[in-house]
């Protein structure tokens, strides 16, 4: 009796595992294909019939791509925009989140609503207004406009997530530091922020990845080829008659791997920031 | 150093003083002011500008002439291309969100089980979420390529097709292919939200039900699913917004073409403004789109109100 029971459990487990591994493969599949395409030669890509695996693994695509496309420029733009936007978003959201967690004030509810609404309005819906505003400030084709816009549209995630972290830290810990002679800022810097560090790291990574992947605003605002960030710059491969898919996909692999690793690092906190004000 | 502080003052920590302080709006401004300015710049200004232009006569060069009343709106409504695009947008939004939720429910249940390698299965699910949608659209374009893609190669090898099928550019099926890619990129986030919901269900409730003789399906149907309702609602509403706003998949794979055959109102508005220089009609459509999002957002706010006040 006992024996049959443990047998059915293991059969069930095998079924679960088979299903789960198949699903894992399915979601990885396009990126595996991307990688296998990135190490093929140009001739092989257009050979007919094609094959599942590369016939000759051409690793030097990963070196040649830097000479065959302005990848270094795209990468530089992406880094400048994403890092600056992340810093700006953090500097703005930290004090706001802390204050929301610690104090009640007039229009606090209205402010929370406003923050939540910004998360919901994607730049795509407002793109004409954004374009005209950037033009008004003579910032078309500039990094600065993209930095401010990326920081602004990702502010909500940071504020909600950090406010949640701050409000879970007992205020007595800070007050204890004050009694011990710390100033308010010192108490924040030495006590509160270190405890909220997982939240801060999550906010940093999330903003960075969102800015790294942003497409619509950059497509609309940036016109010089050497200022385009990766997602916009790489679309130029597509317009060509003889698309260099092998270089396109070496570049996308280079762009995707770091952000996937970063997202895995913050996996357990992702949901709480994105479903702000709903699931705890 | 901070560790010492904690131990030394441990005795003073009481439950009562966790309550937050009431302060005036002026003392709040230095803390929340920068956030307010940033929000005003990136959201409020563009909204006001969008609405303002939609009621104005605007030249191709972008200079505003005078107040125009509802002329832009009338012209947009008289545009025969609008109606097929609007119908397709409904199919796009409801088709993708429905499929995503239906597929994510069992998926969340599956990765909530305990089995060897579960961590790596979850990591695999992170890929389409973290990767740029632009790049994911590019690789699907290549996989589905008529002559060089692996999809047709496989179909040919197992004998399902004899002639290459152009999945992406064939007007008959192209829109459904775009929808499938959109479902692919929407599933990870949805599954993670549902997984978080499943994990918040206390284990003893489920054990109690099992002791009372409830089967797996009964437990899911009568205990887990009702408790999952809130997560499900949140995931659905956020998906409605994301899918309605979705731009890169269509833009990368078909540009909404041929003609407007694969456009939604979002890509159609973009095309009108930046390709056809028809700012007037585009802003009128932009305002419509904005109102649709506003309605979904207010639904979200209503649903989440109870938990939000806790913060």
**Which of B12, B46, B186, B229 is the best substitution to test chain A (most A C-beta atoms within 10 A)?**
B46
Which residues between 60 and 79 in chain A have a beta carbon less than 8 angstroms from any beta carbon of chain B? none
User: pLDDT tens digit string along B121-174?
Assistant: 999 999 999 999 999 999 999 999 988 899 999 999 998 988 888 999 888 889
Buried b or exposed e, range B279-306, using 16+ CB within 10 angstroms: bbbbbbbbbbbbebbeebbeebbebbee
Write B106-112 long-range contacts (CB < 8 A, 24+).
B107/A23, B107/B187, B107/B191, B107/B194, B108/B191, B108/B192, B108/B194, B108/B195, B108/B197, B108/B198, B109/B198, B109/B220, B109/B224, B110/A16, B110/A19, B110/A20, B110/A23, B111/A20, B111/B191, B111/B195, B112/B195, B112/B198, B112/B199
Q: Angle of helix B25-39 relative to helix A71-102, nearest 10 degrees? A: 160
Show Cβ contacts of residue A19 under 8 Å, excluding neighbours closer than 6 positions. B110
**Least confidently predicted of A143-157, B55-69, B283-297:** B55-69
Kindly report the average pLDDT of chain A as a whole number: 87
The pLDDT value recorded for residue B65 is 66
Which comes out higher in pLDDT, residue B209 or A4? B209
* Contact present, B72 and B283 (Cβ < 8 Å): yes
Q: How many CB pairs under 8 A join A and B?
A: 349
Contact B266, A125 (CB under 8 A): yes
Question: Cβ contacts (< 8 Å) between B147 and chain A: which residues?
Answer: 48, 50
A101 touching B (Cβ < 8 Å): yes
CA gap A163, B309 in Å, rounded: 13
pLDDT at B32 over 90: yes
Q: Under an 8 A CB cutoff, do B147 and A50 touch?
A: yes
In which band, very low, low, confident or very high, does the pLDDT at B265 lie, cut at 50, 70 and 90?
Answer: very high
Alpha-carbon gap, residue A249 to A243, rounded angstroms = 11
- Which pLDDT score, from 0 to 100, does residue B124 have? 95
CA distances to A144, A231, A257, B47, B269 from A128, rounded to whole Å, are 18, 20, 32, 9, 9
Poorest-confidence range of A74-88, A129-143, B204-218? Answer: B204-218
Q: Is the peptide bond before B258 cis (omega within 30 degrees of 0)?
A: yes
Q: Which has more confidence, A84 or A195?
A: A84
* Whether ipTM exceeds 0.85: yes
Q: Does the structure show a pLDDT above 90 at A49? A: no
- What is the rounded distance in angstroms from the CA atom of residue A101 to the CA atom of residue A120? 22
For residue B3, pLDDT over 50 is answered with no
pLDDT > 70 fraction of chain A, expressed in percent and rounded: 92
Q: What confidence score (pLDDT) does residue B8 get?
A: 31
CB contact under 8 A, B115 and A99: no
Q: Residue B62: what pLDDT?
A: 61
pLDDT at B306: 58
Range scoring the smallest mean pLDDT among A97-101, A244-248, B64-68: B64-68
DSSP letter at B165 equals -
Which DSSP letter does residue A180 get? T
Give B20's pLDDT tier (boundaries 50, 70, 90).
Answer: low
Distances (CA, A) of B231 to B146, B159, B189, B190: 40, 42, 12, 9
Average pLDDT over residues B59-77: 78
Are the Cβ atoms of A127 and B273 closer than 8 angstroms? yes
* Among B147, B35, B108, CA closest to A23: B108
CB atoms within 10 A of CB A12: 13
B229 falls in which pLDDT band (50, 70, 90)? confident
Q: Please report where in the chains the tokens 């009128």 appear, as a residue.
A: B284
Interface test with B, best of A132, A155, A199, A263 (most B CBs within 10 A): A132
Other CB atoms closer than 10 Å to residue B54's CB: what's the count? Answer: 27
Asked whether the predicted pLDDT for residue A120 surpasses 90, the reply is no
Cross-chain residue pair A271–B122, CB shorter than 8 Å: no
Whether B14 has a pLDDT exceeding 60, the answer reads no
Write the CB contacts of A68 (distance below 8 Å, at least 6 apart in sequence): A244, A247
Q: For residue B269, is pLDDT > 80?
A: yes
Task: Confirm or reject contact between A279 and chain B (CB < 8 A).
Answer: yes
pLDDT digit string (tens) for A174-211? 888 888 888 878 888 888 888 888 889 999 999 999 99
Domain spans of chain B, in order of start: 83-193+228-308
Give the one of A37, A131, A235 whose C-beta lies nearest to B252's C-beta: A235
The CATH homologous superfamily to which domain B83-193+228-308 belongs is MetI-like (1.10.3720.10)
Please check whether residue B136 is in contact with residue B185, taking contact to mean a CB–CB distance below 8 angstroms.
Answer: yes
Going by pLDDT thresholds of 50, 70 and 90, the confidence category of residue B310 is low
Q: Which residues of B touch A96 (CB under 8 A)?
A: 31-32, 34-35
Q: What are the CA-CA distances from residue B111 to residues B138, B166, B194 (Å)?
A: 28, 35, 11
Q: What is the rounded average pLDDT for all residues in chain B?
A: 86
Judged by a CB distance cut-off of 8 A, whether residue A212 touches chain B is yes
Contact criterion met (CB below 8 Å) for A38 and A61? yes
Model confidence band, residue B64 (pLDDT cutoffs 50, 70, 90):
low
Q: How many residues would you count in chain A?
A: 280
The answer to whether the CB atoms of A28 and B293 lie below 8 A apart is: no
pLDDT confidence of B97, banded at 50, 70, 90?
very high
Place of tokens 């007037």: B280
pLDDT score recorded for residue A21:
95
Mean pLDDT score, A64-70? 84
Instruction: Tell me: pLDDT of A56 over 50.
Output: yes
pLDDT at B7: 31
What are the strands, taking DSSP E only, across chain A? 103-105
Among B297, B285, B283, B235, which Cα is nearest to B86's? B285
């Amino acid at each position: 009796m006992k024996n049959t029971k443990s047998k059915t459990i293991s059969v069930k487990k095998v079924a679960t595992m088979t299903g789960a591994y198949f699903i894992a493969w399915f979601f990885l599949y396009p990126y595996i294909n991307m990688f296998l395409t990135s190490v093929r030669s140009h001739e092989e890509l257009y050979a007919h019939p094609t094959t599942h695996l590369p016939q000759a693994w051409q690793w030097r695509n990963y070196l040649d791509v830097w000479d065959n496309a302005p990848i270094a420029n795209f990468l530089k733009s992406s880094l400048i925009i994403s890092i600056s936007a992340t810093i700006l978003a953090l500097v703005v959201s930290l004090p706001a989140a802390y204050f929301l967690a610690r104090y009640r004030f007039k229009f606090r509810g209205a402010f929370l609503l406003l923050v939540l609404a910004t998360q919901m309005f994607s730049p795509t819906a407002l793109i004409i207004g954004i374009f005209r505003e950037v033009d008004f400030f003579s910032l078309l084709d500039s990094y600065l406009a993209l930095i401010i816009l990326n920081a602004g549209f990702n502010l909500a995630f940071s504020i909600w997530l950090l406010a949640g972290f701050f409000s879970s830290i007992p205020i007595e810990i800070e007050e204890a530091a004050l009694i011990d002679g710390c100033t308010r800022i010192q108490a924040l810097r030495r006590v509160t922020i270190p405890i909220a560090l997982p939240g801060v790291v999550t906010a940093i990574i999330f903003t960075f990845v969102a800015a790294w992947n942003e497409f619509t605003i950059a497509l609309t605002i940036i016109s010089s080829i050497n200022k385009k960030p990766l997602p916009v710059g790489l679309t130029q491969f597509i317009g060509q008659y003889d698309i260099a898919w092998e270089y396109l996909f070496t570049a996308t692999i280079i762009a995707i791997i770091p952000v996937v690793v970063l997202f895995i690092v913050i996996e357990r906190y992702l949901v709480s920031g994105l479903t702000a004000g709903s699931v705890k | 150093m901070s560790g010492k502080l904690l131990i030394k003052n441990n005795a003073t920590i009481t439950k009562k003083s966790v309550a937050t302080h009431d302060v005036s709006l002026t003392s709040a401004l230095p803390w929340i002011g920068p956030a307010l300015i940033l929000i005003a710049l990136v959201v409020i200004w563009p909204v006001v500008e969008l609405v303002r232009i939609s009621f104005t006569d605007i030249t191709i060069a972008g200079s505003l002439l005078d107040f125009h009343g509802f002329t832009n709106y009338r012209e947009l409504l008289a545009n025969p291309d609008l109606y097929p695009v609007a119908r397709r947008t409904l199919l796009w939004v409801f088709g993708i969100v429905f499929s995503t939720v239906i597929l994510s429910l069992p998926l969340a249940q599956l990765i909530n089980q305990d089995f060897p390698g579960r961590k790596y299965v979850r990591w695999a699910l992170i890929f389409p979420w973290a990767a740029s949608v632009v790049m994911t659209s590019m690789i699907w374009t290549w996989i589905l390529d008529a002559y060089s893609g692996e999809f047709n190669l496989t179909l040919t090898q197992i004998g399902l097709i004899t002639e290459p099928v152009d999945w992406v550019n064939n007007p008959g099926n192209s829109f459904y292919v775009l929808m499938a890619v959109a479902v692919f990129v929407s599933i990870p986030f949805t599954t993670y939200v549902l997984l978080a919901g499943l994990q918040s269900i206390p284990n003893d409730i489920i054990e109690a039900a099992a002791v009372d003789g409830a089967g797996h399906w009964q437990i899911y149907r009568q205990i887990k699913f009702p408790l999952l309702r809130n997560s499900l609602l949140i995931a659905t509403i956020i998906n409605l917004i994301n899918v309605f706003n979705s731009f890169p998949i269509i833009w990368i794979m078909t540009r909404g073409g041929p003609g407007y055959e694969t456009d939604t109102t979002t890509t159609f508005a973009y095309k009108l403004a930046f390709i056809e220089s028809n700012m007037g009609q585009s802003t009128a459509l932009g305002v419509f789109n904005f109102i649709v999002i506003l309605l979904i957002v207010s639904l979200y706010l209503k649903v989440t109100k109870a938990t939000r006040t806790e913060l």
